[in-house]
A = this chain, B = another copy of it.
Amino acid sequence: MLHSQSAEIIPSRWYNVVPDLPEPLPPPRSGSEEKSSIELLNSIIPAEMLRQEFTFNRYERIPDEIREQYLQVGRPTPLVRAVNLERVLGFSGKIFYKFEGATVTGSHKINTALPQAFYAAQEGVPEIVTETGAGQWGTATSMAGAINGLRTTVFMVKVSYNQKPGRKTVMGLYDGTVIASPSDKTDFGRRVLREKPDHPGSLGIAISEAVEYAISNGYRYMLGSVMNSVLTHQSVIGQETIAQLEMLGETPDALIGCVGGGSNFGGFVFPFIPGNRETEMIASTALEVPKFSKGEYRYDFIDSAGILPMLRMFSLGSDFVPGKIYAGGLRYHGSAPSLSILIRNGRIKTDEVGEEEVITALKLFARTQGVVAAPESGHAIASALRYVRNPDNAGKTVVINVSGHGYLDLGIFGEKK
């Protein structure tokens, strides 16, 4: 039998890569001397999140309530051997894919949304707040809020808000309140609207609004990616994959995933790192967002508004404006600090794929495996196709992380821009 998805596969602890990094993880830093953005962060995220952000513990126990919630949302997700894809490619090795799109909210984002909402609920706040661009994070946050008894407010970049009615609908089903950003709900939003009433919005503005709204109401702010605690939560992906491969008696030669802020990728590959120098790990980014080839390794702001702290990471600059690509989740200018270290020291390799090639890869994956993958995940699939088509890799075993489904992003298959 080719896979197993028994509930026992859900791990009992999260894996934190920090103690296994080749150098210490540079801590977040405040961008300004007078106004500490670290203190700001501390005041809007749950204390338990803050502890996990700075811990050196290799493992953190997953609370029973969260394991139960993971089960409820569709964990463990399937690990499937892509036999039809192998056949069509004439590949002599094995291709597996881990399918995070099988969670009920359709992407890996739910893996960290659940614990963050749970910790917020434990602190007695009535509401959680975040921003969303492409929509996956707002969807996961709304659902996590709903099942943890919290109201959820999502500031959604206005241009996405108008282009993606399906995303709004789904967040609404989870009782999320979705506000087009810039909005009249915050001082910052009102200021932007005064200057430019038809402003299309940006992730930076949406973050600023969400943070202001959280502070002024005493609510908790939810972190979607980049932060170490978020990557730790996402380690359920890689740990499940390890267990599933072991049950099949398989050892992977290569792990391939896509990188926006780095959370699905880190969550997928980091658990393979301890005691392993053999498995290739390939981080696939958008050619249009060349953060690893053209970005600098330096302290830069998490958000374009400079409200949240700075992180030491590969960055194209927090004011970087990428060309329009459908993989909204990959448009982010930076990448998680831990991932950046492992890319700098060569443990993790990188690849860059343009949108045309991604569309071709998504189509092949749909036609052979039936999976309508998210545009972001299409980058991982495209990089995997490059790997498999390289004659040097004949006979190898590859695992792709398919971070989400693409049912709410079918525009990528529409008419050309």
Contact = CB atoms under 8 A, between A and B. Distances in A.
A32 interface: no
Contacts of A147: 84, 368, 370
Nearest to A414: B169
Interface string A158-170: 0000000110011
A174 B370 contact: yes
Interface string A68-79: 100111100010
Contacts of A371: 104
Given A146-B370, A173-B367, 16 more contacts: A1-B6, A1-B71, A5-B5, A72-B83, A72-B84, A84-B147, A104-B372, A106-B407, A165-B414, A169-B410, A170-B372, A170-B410, A173-B362, A173-B372, A173-B413, A174-B367
A54 to B, nearest CB: 31
Contacts of A369: 72, 104
Interface residues of A, number: 49
Interface in A94-113: 102, 104-106, 110
Contact of A102 (B74, B80, B105): B74
A8 interface: yes
B71 A407 contact: no
A272 to B, nearest CB: 23
A102 B73 CA distance: 12
Contacts of A165: 410, 414
Interface in A345-395: 362-363, 366-372
B413 A172 contact: yes
A169 B363 CA distance: 11
B143 A370 contact: yes
**4 residue pairs, one from A and one from B, having the closest CB atoms:** A104-B370, A5-B5, A1-B7, A407-B407
Nearest to A67: B1
Interface of A: 1-8, 68, 71-74, 78, 80, 82-84, 102, 104-106, 110, 143, 146-147, 165-166, 169-170, 172-175, 362-363, 366-372, 405, 407-408, 410, 413-414
A107 to B, nearest CB: 12
A140 to B, nearest CB: 9
A32 B221 CA distance: 69
B166 A407 contact: yes
Contacts of A405: 407
Contacts of A102: 74, 102
Given A74-B78, A102-B74, A410-B170, A4 B6 contact: yes
A99 to B, nearest CB: 8
Contacts of A368: 146-147
B72 A166 contact: no
A370 B72 contact: yes
A270 B174 CA distance: 34
A79 to B, nearest CB: 11
A414 B173 CA distance: 11
19 contacts: A1-B8, A5-B5, A5-B78, A72-B80, A72-B369, A74-B80, A84-B147, A104-B371, A104-B372, A147-B368, A165-B410, A166-B410, A172-B413, A173-B362, A174-B366, A174-B367, A174-B370, A405-B407, A407-B407
A377 to B, nearest CB: 13
A411 to B, nearest CB: 9
Nearest to A101: B104
A6 B8 contact: no
A227 to B, nearest CB: 24
Contacts of A173: 362-363, 366-367, 372, 413
A408 B1 CA distance: 32
A100 to B, nearest CB: 13
A150 to B, nearest CB: 12
